[in-house]
Amino acid sequence: MMTKQQTVIVGGGVIGLLTAFNLATQGQPVVLLDRSALGQESSWAGGGIVSPLYPWRYSPAVTALAHWSQDFYPQLAERLFAATGVDPEVHTTGLYWLDLEDEAEALAWAVREGRPLSPVDVSAAHYAVPVLGPGFSRAIYMADVANVRNPRLVKSLKAALLALPGVTIHEQCAVDGFIREGERIVGVNTASGEIRGEHVVLAAGAWSGELLHSLGLVLPVEPVKGQMILYKCAPDFLSGMVLAKGRYAIPRRDGHILIGSTLEHAGFDKTPTESALESLKVSAVELIPALADAEVVGHWAGLRPGSPQGIPYIGEVPGFEGLWLNCGHYRNGLVLAPASCQLFADLLLGRQPIIDPAPYAPAGRI
């Protein structure tokens, strides 16, 4: 019989939400805290491609999480839609990479990993995506890549959590420190008082490193700003995702087109800038010339939780019994969330982990 032990989760982005969901569906009481509203930081701001932008450039640790998540996303979306009536819109469009410098490495990776990535004639890319710009000479394509509409995923996860027993959600509830008794972390301090639990999980994205400072721990997770712009076109305007020179276009089902993104080290400043807007517009028109006549209907910035090699921290912190991490996913939080949160639940509940947990363990990394 599994014992019921309250878990306090700090951070209500997709990682915190899905961590809470995986524990609550196993009958574990959960308290989820966020300093603002749920999922309004990088979970809301990101593009939602269910693949690392350049998967062959990552370590096997990131690849293992990405593959598990990519295969799991469709059933997660179906389950959430059935439970809540809110569709996260996992939209499988495929992805074209154009004029890659490391195309040979990409294709070698695909063979090694058994992923359906292959070269196509650039004319085939133009045939499949008629609005694609003329300035490209080479293309590779992966057919099964999806994108998830991340604001809807957040909304769906929140609704699913609220329908489960034993779940408490506190929004506008900033954590300013941890409660320590001997070697154990037994809760957190908030503006409205102490909240205690058998386990405390830090899933606070770009803010995770700041929170751990109070315990004298140095977690190399730092904010990395990313800006995006949004166009509104006809629903069938863009039939697939395209990526060139580090910039991408993502179609939503209703005709919204996301163009992203910048990579900026500007601390916790989330102000959208005119220079980024102009740069993103240039990229948009280079990828899809017809966007020159389309209206930008949104422009925003978010803060990614930057980490060394983009490898997240998943597991218990040595020397601080009861303190757990699920953070530092850098550019791939939405991609890696299903696997990261399943692995986390396996570790916390003492189950056989879905993949080898060693590369993500905080021990020796902080």
Q: Which CATH superfamily is domain 95-143+222-306 in?
A: D-Amino Acid Oxidase, subunit A, domain 2 (3.30.9.10)
Express as a percent the part of the chain with pLDDT over 90: 98
Report residue 3's pLDDT band, with 50, 70 and 90 as the boundaries.
Answer: low
Whether residue 342 is predicted with pLDDT greater than 50 in this model: the reply is: yes
Q: What is the pLDDT of residue 1?
A: 38
Whether residue 192 is predicted with pLDDT greater than 90 in this model: the reply is: no
163: enclosing H helix or E strand: none
30-89 residue pLDDT tens: 999 999 999 999 999 999 999 999 999 999 999 999 999 999 999 999 999 999 999 999
CATH topology of domain 7-50+152-220+309-360: FAD/NAD(P)-binding domain (3.50.50)
Report residue 16's pLDDT band, with 50, 70 and 90 as the boundaries.
Answer: very high
The model's pTM: 0.96
Whether residue 196 is predicted with pLDDT greater than 50 in this model: the reply is: yes
Residues of the chain within CATH 3.50.50.60 domain(s) are 7-50+152-220+309-360
208-222 residue pLDDT tens: 999 999 999 999 999
Mean pLDDT score of the chain, rounded to an integer?
Answer: 96
Whether residue 18 is predicted with pLDDT greater than 80 in this model: the reply is: yes
Distance between CA atoms of 287 and 285, rounded to whole angstroms?
5
Residues of the chain within CATH 3.30.9.10 domain(s) are 95-143+222-306
Distance between CA atoms of 274 and 278, rounded to whole angstroms?
6
